[in-house]
């Protein structure tokens, strides 16, 4: 089966073998913005411009949802699952990431993460091969930036693509979400392909593409965050090898120098545009191998 969401809030289930819908749901009264399919529970979660999300059991015969959230007083535009679908993250019109926990019910979100300067129109998870995939997502905003954001704790890991201030409409990763290429489509009629492996795998990181535990003890601020901090304060960017007296710290008990404080007034999620980094001009034959 497949499902469709209309501008008037109607959700329809279809069987491609028939010419008519199997069932329709009318509990939303504004446009349907996104769907999330929970394979393990066989449930469909929808987000709507009316400020609510709903959970539908497609196997049931009633044209009613299993649950519907309270009005979040903001348009819900995108949704993605994290932590083995025990939590879902919803992007909103005001640039806030709302986190719902299925074990606490769907009535209201359990956490809100502000910071995006404009609406969050698209969300996507990372391949499961990355250690932080359970809490790290890609966000596409109407300011044209594709960001990679880690939750729990919340921090910006980088700006990976720039659509020249045109809203990012969709994000997807090849090989059914387990590949290395991020495809992002914006309102400038361009599909950008970004190499996820080059974004996450920096020098000095382990084979999984992220710093190991020893590195995190010695340098609690990652290379991307360190660069952003330096750009905001106007200070020189210090390579990791020279941070602790000119040598890399191998002893987690070694005293560390006092970290520089960031100046207030700037939001880290505003990011810094990196135009053209890790992007390719692809011949049509490139996509046949994905």
What does 133-162 look like in DSSP terms, one character per residue?
TTTEEEEEETTSEEEEEETTTTEEEEEEEE
Band (114; pLDDT cuts 50, 70, 90): very high
Which of residues 66 and 282 earns the better pLDDT score?
Answer: 66
Q: What is the mean pLDDT of residues 202-216?
A: 40
Burial of 128 (0-12, 13-18, 19+ CB in 10 A): exposed
Report pLDDT for 20: 87
Which of residues 72 and 258 earns the better pLDDT score?
Answer: 72
Band (276; pLDDT cuts 50, 70, 90): low
Report pLDDT for 266: 52
Which of residues 6 and 18 earns the better pLDDT score?
Answer: 6
Give the lowest-confidence range in 175-179, 191-195, 204-208, 248-252: 204-208
Report pLDDT for 247: 42
Q: The tokens 């997807």 sit on which residue?
A: 172
pLDDT, one tens digit per residue, over 128-158 is: 988 888 999 999 999 999 999 999 888 888 8
Long-range contacts formed by 218-227: CB under 8 A, 24+ apart: 218/244, 218/248, 218/249, 218/250, 218/251, 218/252, 218/254, 218/256, 219/243, 219/249, 220/259, 221/259, 222/157, 224/156, 224/157, 224/158, 225/155, 225/156, 225/157, 225/268
Band (91; pLDDT cuts 50, 70, 90): very high
pLDDT above 90 as % of the chain: 52
Q: Please state whether the peptide bond connecting residue 240 to the residue before it is cis, i.e. omega within 30 degrees of 0.
A: no
Report pLDDT for 88: 96
Report pLDDT for 24: 94
Residue 261, pLDDT > 50, answer no
Q: How many Å apart are CA 68 and CA 107, to the nearest integer?
A: 7
Q: How many Å apart are CA 62 and CA 221, to the nearest integer?
A: 52
Q: The tokens 């200070």 sit on which residue?
A: 235
Dihedral pair phi/psi, residue 216, rounded to 5°: -70, -35
Q: What is the dihedral of CA 271, 275, 276, 278, to 10 degrees?
A: -10
Report pLDDT for 202: 56
Q: What is the mean pLDDT of residues 228-235?
A: 46
Report pLDDT for 2: 92
pLDDT, one tens digit per residue, over 26-62 is: 999 999 999 999 988 899 999 999 999 999 999 888 8
Dihedral pair phi/psi, residue 223, rounded to 5°: -60, -40
Q: How many Å apart are CA 239 and CA 257, to the nearest integer?
A: 14
Which of residues 41 and 211 earns the better pLDDT score?
Answer: 41
Which of residues 19 and 281 earns the better pLDDT score?
Answer: 19
Report pLDDT for 201: 72
Band (256; pLDDT cuts 50, 70, 90): low
> Per-domain residue ranges for the chain?
1-114, 126-203
CATH (residue range 1-114): 2.130.10.10
């Amino acid at each position: 089966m497949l499902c469709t969401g209309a501008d008037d809030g109607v959700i329809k289930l279809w069987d491609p073998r028939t010419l008519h819908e199997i069932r329709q749901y009318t509990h939303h009264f504004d446009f349907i913005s996104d769907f999330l399919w929970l394979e393990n529970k066989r449930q469909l979660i929808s987000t709507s411009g009316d400020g609510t999300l709903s959970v539908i059991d497609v196997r049931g015969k009633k044209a009613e949802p299993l649950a519907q959230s309270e009005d979040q007083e903001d348009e819900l535009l995108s949704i993605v699952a994290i932590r083995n679908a025990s939590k879902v993250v919803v992007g909103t019109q005001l640039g806030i990431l709302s986190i719902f926990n299925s074990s606490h019910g769907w009535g209201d979100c359990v956490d809100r993460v502000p910071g995006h300067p404009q609406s969050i129109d698209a969300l996507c998870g990372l391949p499961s091969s990355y250690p932080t995939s359970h809490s790290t997502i890609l966000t596409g905003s109407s300011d044209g930036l594709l960001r990679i954001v880690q939750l729990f704790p919340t921090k910006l890991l980088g700006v990976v693509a720039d659509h020249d201030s045109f809203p990012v409409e969709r994000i997807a990763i090849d090989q059914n979400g387990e590949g290395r290429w991020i495809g992002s489509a914006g309102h400038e009629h361009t599909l950008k392909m970004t190499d996820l492996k080059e974004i996450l795998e920096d020098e000095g990181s382990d084979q999984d593409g992220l710093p190991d535990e020893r590195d995190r003890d010695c340098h609690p601020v990652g290379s991307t965050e360190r660069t952003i901090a330096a750009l905001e304060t106007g200070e020189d960017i210090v390579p990791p090898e020279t941070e602790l007296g000119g040598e890399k710290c191998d002893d987690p008990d070694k005293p560390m120098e006092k970290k520089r404080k960031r100046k207030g007034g700037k939001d880290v999620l505003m990011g810094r545009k990196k135009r053209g980094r890790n992007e390719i001009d692809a011949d049509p034959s490139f996509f046949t191998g994905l």
